[in-house]
Amino acid sequence: MTHAVRPSLARRLLAEGVGTALLVAIVIGSGIAAQTLSPDDVGLQLLENAIATAFGLTVLILMLGPVSGAHFNPVVSLADWWVGRSRGRGLTLGEVGTYSIAQILGGSLGAVLANVMFAVPTALSTHDRATGAHLVSEVVATAGLITVILSLARTGRGALAAPAVGAYIGAAYWFTSSTSFANPAVTIGRMFSDTFAGIAPGSVAPFIAAQVVGMGVGVALSLALYPDAGDAADEVVVPALDEDDATS
């Protein structure tokens, strides 16, 4: 028999911190590179940024998913707890807190790393983004992300989570006016880079509030479509299974 025993909390937190750090480094670093290589074409800059983020996120989920589930996002961790809580599945509320701390710290360090790699000073962004259209976009982007993740977990298609989530975020760069942050840890991290991908501190709280609302919409939609979605909470974003316990 195969016994799905999760890795230790320390290992999972390391994976979440490293994964979120690399995700933010990819977002900011590719934004800086795009701005440098295509200085006169904002559309091309966004395309380059979106492609790098979609590919990078896919690889990070494949690499770290078996350790922590590859949440890299506090609202994903919170949704995992919410849908699984009544069935004793998914993260505990305490684990959501520790995951979120690791993700936020990782995201902030990832921003600093990107700045260092491109010899850009680490400074608070001056890019104000909190318009009504952007906040609606964050609700939509986050709701879609949560629905994609929970739907794939519930229908046993976790193997598709990496490319599906990467593709969704890449697409959402273009169909939302906010360019789909959809992640409080990434939002906070991007505050520390005054570059193409940055966000001003004054826009952070409204963006996070919109993302939390989007999470609620996504959870409600997922449960309406799949009432027993909570049964698969242990498989969000992908199942975290210790290799020593993966033998029959």
Is 168 inside any structural domain? Answer: yes
Q: Is 248 within the bounds of a domain?
A: no
Phi, psi dihedral angles at 152 (to 5 degrees) = -65, -40
Element (H, E) at 97: helix 93-117
| 14/20 Cα distance (integer angstroms) | 10
Q: Which residue has the tokens 């200085």?
A: 39
| pLDDT at residue 13 in the model | 98
pLDDT of the chain, 248 residues: tens digit per residue: 345 578 999 999 999 999 999 999 999 999 999 999 999 999 999 999 999 999 999 999 999 999 999 999 999 999 999 999 988 899 999 999 999 999 999 999 999 999 999 999 999 999 999 999 999 999 999 999 999 999 999 999 988 999 999 999 999 999 999 999 999 999 999 999 999 999 999 999 999 999 999 999 999 999 999 999 999 988 999 888 765 544 43
Give domain status of residue 53, yes or no: yes
Supply φ then ψ for residue 70, to 5 degrees: 60, 50
Residue 79 lies in a domain: yes
For 4-155, strand residue ranges (E) read none
pLDDT score for 151:
96
CA dihedral 16, 19, 24, 27 (to 10 degrees): -140
Q: Domain for residue 4, yes or no?
A: no
- 138 belongs to a structural domain: yes
The secondary structure of 178-204 as a DSSP string is T-----HHHHHHHTT--STT---HHHH
pLDDT (0 to 100) of residue 241: 73
Q: Is residue 247 part of a domain?
A: no
Q: In which domain, by residue range, is 155 found?
A: 9-242
The pLDDT, as a whole number, for residue 246 is: 44
Task: Read off the CATH number of the domain in which 84 is found.
Answer: 1.20.1080.10
Q: What is the pTM of this model?
A: 0.94
Count of structural domains, the chain: 1
In a domain, 49, yes or no: yes
